[in-house]
Amino acid sequence: MTNCEKGFFVNLHAPYDLVYIKLPDSEYTFDKSGRLMWIIKDDAKIERNLNNKFVLKSDIGFDYLYKKNRVLSYNESWELYKNILHEIQFILNTMKSEPHCSKNCDVYKHEKDIIPFLEKIISYDFEALLRDEQNFNSIYSPIEIFPSDIPHPIIVQLTQGCSYNKCTFCYFYKNRCFKIKNLEELQRHIFEIKEFLGDSIFNKRSIFLGDANALTIEYSLLISMLDIVRKEFPIVQNYYNENRFILQKNKSNKTRFDGIYSFIDAMDDRKLTLNQFKELKKRNLEKIYIGLESGSNRVLSFIKKCNTVEQLINITQTIKQADIKVGIMIIAGIGGDKYYNEHVNETIKVIEKLNLNTEDTINFSHLVLSDKASYKQDIIKNGIKKLTYDQEQHQIDEIVTGLKISTTYFPNIRGYEVENVRF
C-alpha cells in the first residue's frame, strides 16, 4: 500500500484479493484483472457488474435492508468511467514523476507493484468494458435473478430458463425454452467462464447454479454435474477470513470456494428424497432458495404457482433435516389490496412452521408489474389494486414484526430488488 502527500491511497492487498484506491472525494475498488467493481463518490455508491451495467445503489426502508437502485445510461456510465481513468492517470503520473513522494509511503516496497497495476487499469478503457459485456453475453443466457445474499458468486448455468414458467407474476423466462446442458456443454461453459474471469476469479467466494430451478435436473445427471463443478472450482468450507487469498496462494495457484447455492421449486419435493439431499450436502450444496412468494394457498392459486403451502413446508423441512441452509423468497404486495391481510397472516404462520434458524434467510422483494406477465391483466380483471411501494414496505414490516420466533434462532432478513440483478 502507498500513501502519498498528493492525496491518494492505494492498497494492493485489500481483503478478498481486491485493490482499493482512495482520493479526497472518491473511492474505487478493482479486482486483480483491473476491472472496476465499486465507486463511492459524493456519497453515492455505484456498482459495476460483469455485464458492464453501472448500478447506482440506495438503501431505504426497514433497517436499510430493502434497496431501490437505478441502472445508469450508457452516456452516464461512459462519462463516469472517463473521469475515473483521468484520476488513475493522475496517480500513475505522480508516482512515475515524483518518486520522492515514496518517503511518506506506509509500505514503500509495494510501490513497484502498484505502477504496473495502475497501467493495467488504464489499459482497461471503455471499449474493453464493452468487450467484457459482449463476452459475458456470449457465455451466459440472460441471468434474470439470483439471491442477493450469496457471497461473491460465480454463476454456472446448468440449465437455461425455467422448467415450470407459468407463474403469472414472473416475466423472466417468457418466450424462452427450458434447456438442460449435457456434460460436454457444461464443461465448455465452465472453461469459458474461467477464461472470461481471468484474475477476477480470485475475489469470488461461492458458486451459484442457475437458472431458475437447476435442482430439477434428474438426480444422477445432477450428481455428475456437481462433481464437474467441484473439480473445476475446489471447495473448502469455512475457508475464508481476511487473509484467505494470501494463505491459499502460498499453497497453490488455485482459488477455493466455500459452497454451492441454487434454487428449487417446492413441487420438486416429489423428486428428491432426504437421502438424496444428504448426498447433495456431501457435495457441498450449502444453501437452497425456495420461492414461497406467499403463505396463502389462495394467493398461490391466483398467481398459478406450481405448489401448495403444504408442499413448501414439506420440502423445507426435508432440506433442513439434510443440514442444508434455506432461503425463503417472499414477494411484498402479491395479491394486492384484496389479499393484503391474508398474505401477511398466512405467511407468518408458514414461516413459523419451517424451523428456520440464524443460518437461514427470509428474502423479501417488492412486486414488479410487467407487460410480459399476465398478472397485471389479472388484477385489473379482478378489481384488485396494486399496493404502493410504501404499502409493500409496511407489509414487509408487518410480517417481520409478527413472527414469533426466538431471537436465538431468528433467521436473517434480507431484501433484494429483482429489476437490477447484480453479478
Average pLDDT score over residue span 102-119? 64
pLDDT value at residue 226: 97
Give per-residue pLDDT as tens, 375-387. Answer: 999 999 999 999 9
pLDDT value at residue 6: 55
Average pLDDT score over residue span 169-184? 90
Average pLDDT score over residue span 332-360? 96
High-pLDDT (> 70) share of the chain, %:
86
pLDDT value at residue 270: 59
Separation of alpha carbons 17 and 333, rounded Å: 40
Residue 186 has pLDDT above 50, yes or no: yes
Distance, CA of 332 to chain centre: 19
**Residue 327 pLDDT level (bands cut at 50, 70, 90):** very high
Lowest mean pLDDT among 192-196, 202-206, 254-258, 291-295: 254-258
Beta bridge partners of 207: 154, 260
C-beta of residue 257 within 8 angstroms of C-beta of residue 279: no
Separation of alpha carbons 67 and 60, rounded Å: 6
Q: ∠ at Cα 364 (361, 368), nearest 5°? A: 150
High-pLDDT (> 90) share of the chain, %:
55
Residue 65 has pLDDT above 80, yes or no: no
Question: Which range, 19-33, 63-77, 280-294, is most confident?
Answer: 280-294
pLDDT value at residue 419: 62
**Residue 406 pLDDT level (bands cut at 50, 70, 90):** confident
pLDDT value at residue 107: 38
Residue 239 has pLDDT above 50, yes or no: no
Domain ranges of the chain: 2-132, 140-415
Give per-residue pLDDT as tens, 246-293. Answer: 334 434 445 678 899 999 988 755 578 999 999 999 999 999 999 999
Task: State the alpha helices, DSSP H only, in 170-321.
Answer: 183-197, 219-232, 244-251, 274-282, 297-302, 309-321
Average pLDDT, the chain: 86
C-beta of residue 344 within 8 angstroms of C-beta of residue 396: no
Beta bridge partners of 319: none
Residue 132 has pLDDT above 50, yes or no: yes
Beta bridge partners of 29: 20, 38
pLDDT value at residue 67: 55
Residue 400 has pLDDT above 80, yes or no: yes
Answer with the residue of higher pLDDT: 125 or 319.
319
Q: Which fold has domain 140-415?
A: TIM Barrel (3.20.20)
Q: Give the residue from 63, 142, 155 showing the smallest Cα distance to 364.
A: 63
Residue 416 has pLDDT above 60, yes or no: yes
Residue 162 has pLDDT above 70, yes or no: yes
Residue 205 has pLDDT above 70, yes or no: yes
3-state secondary structure of 13: strand
pLDDT value at residue 246: 37
Residue 356 has pLDDT above 90, yes or no: yes
pTM comes to 0.88
Q: How many helices (H) and strands (E) does the chain have?
A: 12, 19
Average pLDDT score over residue span 110-125? 84
C-beta of residue 179 within 8 angstroms of C-beta of residue 238: no
